[in-house]
């Protein structure tokens, strides 16, 4: 299961040891590390990235969810530090869209008090024991949360609502006259613009999801090539599950794009008549 973790330590030295332990778990096949970093919070509450793990497969040292979480933890300072190594955001909206709930942010914010250090990572794990054993031995406090893919469902639902609104406005416009027709034309134009935005977002999200999933699958294949026995079988199972999940998510985004495209095509045809 794809999860976000943050493990908090009393000092930076322990956090670096934990980062090495996490890399060892990845090599052993006990879990897969997609992205990660060592962060610290100073006495003034500012969060900075001290080390970005080179094991991340997502094109940058930090993946989107990891970067967004670090940015939200540190506010503008944390976001700037995250952006320097590839983060893509840090707002609450980013976290929600990337499947990292604000309640998780509250939990980790309470744990990461000034003067402490932590490792933040996106991982794939089946069992919590391997990570818990290593991190607790180093004195770490572990926070973890499954990363839910919520934006795909939301975009599909929003596209359907936009299409329904647009269809109703278009039907009303066809029956209107005079000033009422002019007002409705403005509303239809606005609805069409929002449909276009939704269409572009669906396409961009599909492209980004494809890039991220393919990078993760590549990382798992690489990990499997170095494993043997039960560990290799577990990794190959993860790959199959990820491919199946990707298909479901891709279908939702394609549906969102199809709904907006259909409405826009219908609108263009109506305007030509």
Asked if residue 65 lies in contact with residue 99, where contact means CB atoms within 8 angstroms, the answer is: yes
Task: Name the percent of the chain in helix, strand, coil, to the closest 5.
Answer: 65, 15, 20
Q: What is the pTM of this model?
A: 0.65
Cβ burial 59-77 (10 Å sphere, 16+ → b, else e)? ebbbbbbbbbbbbbbbeeb
In the chain (273 residues long), the average pLDDT of successive 10-residue segments reads: 90 93 89 88 85 50 69 54 39 58 80 91 90 96 77 62 77 85 85 78 73 82 86 87 80 69 58 47
Query: What was the pLDDT predicted at 153?
Result: 55
Residue 237 Cα distances to 85, 90, 241, 253, angstroms: 31, 32, 6, 25
Over the stretch 57-73, which tens digit does the pLDDT of each residue have? Answer: 434 445 667 777 877 78
**Helical residues (DSSP H) of 98-228, grouped into ranges:** 102-111, 129-137, 151-175, 178-225
* Cα distances (Å, whole numbers) of residue 75 to 41, 44, 98: 12, 12, 17
Domain boundaries, the chain: 2-146, 151-272
Cα–Cα dist 131/142, whole Å:
9
Helices (H) and strands (E) counted in the chain, each on its own, are: 8, 5
Q: How far apart are CA 248 and CA 250, in angstroms?
A: 5
């Amino acid at each position: 299961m794809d999860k976000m973790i943050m493990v908090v330590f009393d000092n930076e030295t322990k956090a670096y040891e934990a980062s090495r332990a996490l890399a060892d778990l990845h090599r052993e096949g006990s879990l897969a590390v997609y992205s990660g970093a060592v962060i610290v919070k100073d006495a003034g509450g500012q969060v900075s990235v001290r080390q970005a793990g080179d094991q991340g497969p997502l094109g940058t040292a930090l993946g989107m969810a990891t970067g967004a979480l670090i940015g939200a933890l540190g506010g503008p300072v944390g976001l700037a530090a995250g952006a320097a190594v590839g983060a893509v955001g840090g707002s609450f909206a980013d976290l929600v869209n990337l499947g990292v709930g604000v309640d998780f942010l509250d939990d980790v914010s309470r744990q990461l008090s000034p003067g402490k250090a932590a490792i933040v990572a996106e991982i794939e794990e089946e069992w919590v024991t391997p990570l818990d054993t290593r991190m607790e031995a180093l004195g770490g406090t572990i926070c973890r949360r499954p990363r839910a893919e919520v934006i795909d469902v939301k975009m599909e639902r929003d596209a359907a609502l936009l299409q329904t609104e647009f269809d109703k406005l278009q039907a009303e416009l066809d029956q209107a006259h005079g000033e009422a027709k002019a007002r409705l034309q403005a509303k239809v134009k606005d609805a069409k613009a929002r449909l276009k935005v939704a269409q572009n977002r669906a396409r961009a999200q599909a492209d980004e999801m494809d890039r991220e999933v393919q990078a993760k699958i590549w990382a798992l294949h690489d990990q499997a090539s170095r494993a043997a026995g039960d560990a290799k079988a577990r990794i190959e199972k993860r790959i199959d599950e990820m491919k199946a999940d990707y298909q479901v998510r891709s279908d939702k985004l394609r549906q969102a794009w199809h709904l907006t495209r259909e409405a826009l095509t219908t609108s263009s045809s109506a305007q030509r008549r």
